[in-house]
Every structure is written in C-alpha cells, then in structure tokens.
A and B are shown apart, each in its own frame.
Chain A
C-alpha cells in the first residue's frame, strides 16, 4: 500500500475523467435533459398573458379562477392587480397557446357568477367552485390584443349562439322590462339585455337578441309589446284576468308579431319600439311614429273644436297620418279678410298611401299634390259618436274647382277644404242633441193633452154608449133580412143547380166561379173592413171634428141642417137602391137560369149544347159575382156618407137638436152599414151560406 510508488499512483489518478467516469452519470444527465426538455416545452407551450379589466374582482382568485370558452378551461388567472389609478381591477390571464390566436380585438370577457332570476338559476356551479371568467370570440384569427375590458354583465349572445341583434326602445312615456325574455307564441326566442336611458331621458333603449333561426320571424313591420304583468277587466262576460305566463308575470317579458306580411329582413341594430300591449302594437302599424312622414296642411274656416292633436287623417277610411299641429292663422293676403282661421298641419305616412315601389316622402307628396289638383279635398268628420272628436278626411270631390298647389322647399302644400264638411256627414252627437232640443215637445204635449181631453169627452158621451144597443138592433135587422123568403128560396134552387153542376164537373170551369166568388167575398171583407175602420177611425176624426167645429160655428145652422137632411136622404136612397134590394132576387134569378139551363142540358143531353150551357153558366156565375162585387161599392158609398155625417155630427156634439137628428141619421147609416157588414162577414165566413141559405 504505502510501498506503492507515488508517481505511478499519480499517473493512475490522472486518468481522463471520462475514462473513469461511471456510466451512472448518464442517469442524472438524462434526467437533466428530460427536465430541461420538459421545461422548455412548457415554456414553448405557454400561451400569452392577457389583461382584462373588470370593475371589481369579486370571486376572482389568482391561479384558481379559470378562463373558459364554451365551458372549457382555456386559461387561468395568474395575477390580479389594480389599474394604475385604482379605477379597475386588472386580471392577468394566461391563455392556452392553442386558443390564444383567436383571442383578438373582438373578444369579450365577463365573469360568470351564480344568478337567480325568474328564468331560472344560472351559474350554480360557481357557488361552490368559485366564479370563472367566460370569454367569447369567433373562429377567425384577428388582430392580436392583450388588453381587454371585461363586460359587467353576461352578454346576450353567448358562445355558440347566433342571433339577430336589434335594439328595442320604449314609446315616449312607455316602459320596458329589461333583462327579460322575448317570447313568440310562448316560446323563448330571444332576450332583452340591460336597458339604458336616453340622454334626454325620454325613452329607454335596450339591446335585444333574437336567436337563430327565429330571427326570420322579425321583419321591419314587426311590432314588439310588453307582456309583463297582467290585465284585469270586467266585461259583460264577467271578470277576466289575463297574463301570458307566470314567468313573464313575475319577471316581465316581451313578445312580438308581424301583422303585415312582407318587409324583408332586418339588419343588425335595427331599432324597434316596444308597445304597452298588443292592441297598441297593432294600431301602431298605422301610426307615423317611426317612419318618415311628409306634411300637408288644411285651413279650416269653421270651428274645429274636437280636432285634437294626433287625430287621424283618413283617406278612404284608411288612416294615413295624423294631425300634427293645430294653430290659428291670419293671412289677409291669401283669404281676403283678417279672420282667424285654423290651420291644421297633417303628418302623412307615405307607406300608408299605397304607392308601389320605393316610397319616399317626396314621391308621396308629389302624388298627393297631384291628387289635390285632381279634386282631393279635406273635410272634418266625426271620429266617434261618443267622444265628439273630429278627424280629417280626405275625399275625392268630383266637380271640385281646379286648384294649383304651391309646392317647394319649406312650403307645406295646402289641401283645400270642401264645403259643409261636418253638416253633411252623419251628424255628430252635438247635432243630434241640438235637433232633439229643437223638437216642439211642449206643443206636442199640449195638443196631446187637448186630444186626450176631447177623446175623453167623446167617449163619455152617452150616445156613444148607446151605440152597442144600436148595433144589436142592427144585427136583428140583418138577421131578419137574411131570413127573408127571397133569400131563403135561393138555396133550394141553388141546390138543384149544384146537383147538375156536380154531374158536369169534369167540363165545368168551376175554378172561375170559385175564384170570382172568392174575389167577391174578399171585396165584401174589404168593405166590412172599411166599415170597421171608419168606426174605429172615429177617434182619429176628433181632430178633424175640432177643426170642422170651429168652422161650423161660423156656418148658418139651417144650411147645415138642410145639408144634413139631404145627406140622410141620399143615404136612405142608397139603402133603397135596387142593387141593395134586388141582390137576393138577382141571385135567385141567376140561379134559376142556371137551374133551367142545367135542366135543359140534362134533358137535351146533347154535347153540342154543352158549350152554350157552359157559356150561360159562366154568365150566370158572372152575374152572381157582379152582384156580389157590388157589395163593396155599396159599402164604400155608405162609408163616405157616414164619414160626412160624422164630420157634421162632431160639430154639434154639445147636444143640439140638429146633432140629434144627425146622430139618428148616422145611426141609420151605421145600421145599414152594419147589416151589410154582417152579411159580408157571413159570406166571408161561409160563402156557401149564400147558396145554401144557412
């Protein structure tokens, strides 16, 4: 050991390191290489660091909070700092290398936190795992950007959803439920984002999104309205409560519909109005709120109270615009005097006029001016019976005088008025009331009272009370008349004749006789009716009687008496006419003839005679019919007499001698009339009674 020569030992020790190095050294070298390789790879694969600014960093933790894209982690928060002026929280996020290129200038970031809304719970997992940052970007590699400003709320259009971005604004004075669903037929098809108030504070506007493929439901004529809350109404069918769904009841919501077809697509960012309810939305189709309008004006001479701002302007019943302003105007030059006239400016909507192709206000104005020159005129009309409001109607007047409409920059063309606008239209309520007011109600009542009084006096007259007894007597007379021998003998003969009739039935034109008889009976009935009417008409005559009475006072009484006597006499004469007396005889004769003819016919049995027989039979029937037809004429005449008599009598209602005579005459006449009446009625009831005597 110690004897070993030193130089040799040194030589051995100086052997090159690699020669005596153990192969074991390969292992740490390998490990080092691997470690370095891994480290290098990790470094190479490390994505870029981006900075996102948020208002606050609630829940964001370094090295824990993840950046997610479509719910997959694509990065992690490395550092949370404040902005240099403490105005924001800057979150440094290490983004995975493979998605980093897509994080371009258009990327948006927001923090997903648990949310409890009426639509449901979202982000529930973040309750336990903590919040995460959601990023949204498209699949195109764009300009690189490392500093972003995060959104304060979840954007409407999240990853993987496409849709149409529109803006919804309230109608002036309306309201809007923001952050609420947009439903269509009850299906959620979109969403309203956070609303902001316009600078002037006159409306609220909110971004909204209609998800694909529902965006095709939206066209420029689509109308949105609020479905939040509920409506309660009491009507004839009972109380009614209406709300679209519980979710919208609590959280609000919007829905929409397209009432007018066509219109094409809607581009991103189109602004729609939100109406309070469906009917308003529907009506808004005809309102000029969101479309460019053109103006025309009308100068009214007359009072236009009731013409309010916003009153409809109608063309052939279609609302094409509204009254934009109403003001007084004095223009001595134009109208020739210094009266105050009323100037209504109309805002008309080009699209409503119905022009084809592209409708610009200028083109529409040109069209309207042409129409005015062709006779289009404005007039006022009642908008509603109850409100008394007025509207402006544009109507075509055929023979309108030619006018030249002034047009040009800054000139509002005038639409001339037509005359008698309001009055020739269906009267307004005012007019109706005025007319009712003008009716002579007092006078009417006075004369009614007078009429009633005289009617009362007339009815309470004892003579009138006696009338039934007279009628009874008359009936007795008639009965006697009917029971007279002449009349009695008729049926027997008639029976015989009828026997023959029946045997010849096939050839006999029975129809004619029957028809005539029916006509006769009808006439008799008419006569009877006439009599009845004249009796019934007595009260109606009172007025006439009054007038006659007034006249009668001035007339000499004796003349009247004479006249009356004459009347009575003529009445008597009429009663004694042959037509009346001979009626039964005539009938009998005629029947006799028939009988004889028939007998002859039967005896002869000759066919040749049949025609002649039929002729005479027809004649006989005609005679019967004629005599029967005379009855109404007779009755008519008697009624005339009676009328005259009544006229007279009324004048002497107070109980004069004359009146008594007159009344007697009247009574006679009415007896006669009544007997005729009852005869006619009997015939009417039972035409064969005439023949059979029963």
Chain B
C-alpha cells in the first residue's frame, strides 16, 4: 500500500498539519454541537449522571480500537485482525483468570502480551514474506477468529475477578475509569508519535519510504513496530471489554472491524501513511458514539445508525479532500 509521492508534490507537505488541525477543530465543533442538540431535544436526558457515564464508558473501547488501526495506518498498512484480536485477547484474559486461576493483574499482562505477540507475528510476516499487509492480516484474522472460539467454544466466562470488574465499572470523580484509561492510552500514543524518535520514524516510513531509507530509517523495523503497537492496543481494548462487561464470550470483536477504520478515517488519518491524528481519531469515535446514543434516545431503528455512519465517513473524507489542493485523481 505504500505509494511514493512524485517529487512535484513535495512542497505541499507542510500544509498537512494545518489540514489535520482543521479536521480536528471541525470534529470538535461537530461533537459539541451534536451533544448540545441531543441534550436540548431529549430534555436533558443525556446530561443526567447515568447516561453521561454510559456514553463515556462505551466510548473507551471504540477509541482504543481506532488508535490500534491508526498505528498501522501510520506506516500505510492495514490490520484487518483488530476486531477479532480484541475478542481473542478478552477471551485469553478471562481464561487466565477463570481456568488458569491467575490473579487479575497477571491475566491483564498476559492479554496485553498476547496482543503484542500476535502484532509482532503480523509485522514479521509482512516484512519476511513481502506479502501485502492487507493479505497477511486477512490470513491471520481468519486464524485468530478460529482461535477466539477455540479458547472456550461459544460458552461465556463470567464471575472472574470482582476487583477488576468493579474497577472497570467504577468511576473516579464521576468519570468512568475505563474512559480514563482510554484517555491515558491516547495520550501515550500521541506522545509516541509526536516526541519519541521511534514514532517519528514510523511516520517517516509511512510518508515516504524511499526518503526514510535514505535518511537511515529501517522501513522493515517501522513495519514490525507499527504492527506490534497495533496488536498491543487491541490487547488493551480486550482487557477493557473484560473489565467493563463482567462476562465475555467469543462473539466479542465481531462488530469492531469497520468502526476501527471509521474512526481514524473520519479523524483525518491518511490511508497512505505518514499522517496520524490521535485527537481526530478520538473525536471521531465520540461522534460515532453520539450517533449511537441518539439512536437509543430517540428509539430510532438501529439500522439508521449504520446508514448515518456511512454517510459521515464519506462526508468527512470528501470535506478533507476538498480542502486539500487537488492532487490528481489518484485514489
């Protein structure tokens, strides 16, 4: 998926941060406006404690999932296994606690390690076989999908560590802990891509592999690291599901793949690589969450949600595209 940008387009690069900043502002305004409209039309139902908590509790997983996809998009790759990997890590975490009898903190570490290890395998496969990352993750997605059901069949794990669940469902000063965890992860990811040399190298590889190589960046290492980070974040999302829901089964992650793409794409992340936006991805996840809330509040047919999300994805990309000076019709 890596495409070299022809030399004549180079001078436009400095505009990209501007474009991202614009997208983030638009998204923030959209989210606030959406929330105000929701609050006004539901007679304040979404301002009350319970609903507000629920909004942010169930925002945590989509946020982290979006960041997981964003990590591989940064080098111009895709990870189709994000959803099933989240489900698999959740099952592993629950299995470690229920069947293996490990304490919760070890189980959490085990789930994170599982995610990172699978991400590492993805990355190594991409680098060693030189097969397109889309195809590699398509194959590993199929395998993980099988493994996910292999952990405990279609049965449900429940009654694991009460402390983990009460921590996951609890809140600090009225803010749900899972949401706080998601924000902390987002800050870490933002820091990684902004200030850590390794993160900068990922963006360099994604933006222009040839230039990156000539500047001494190992593109292979960037690919492996990006997949590893993506797997680790999917593992984190899996742990959040375990802590939040109190019971897990193998269907977790089925409906996460498409949202994982929707959030970064709406947030202004370039599919070709080289440009990421943590804030944009999180805001986009929030907007999608608000559409969900609106559906529940107005008791609209849930099918409209997908229709609207589809329209928002396309609309967001179109707006971004229109704002950018026309760079030819290369899709």
Instruction: Specify whether A and B are partners.
Output: no
**Which B residues have a C-beta under 8 Å from some C-beta of A?**
none
**Which A residues have a C-beta under 8 Å from some C-beta of B?**
none
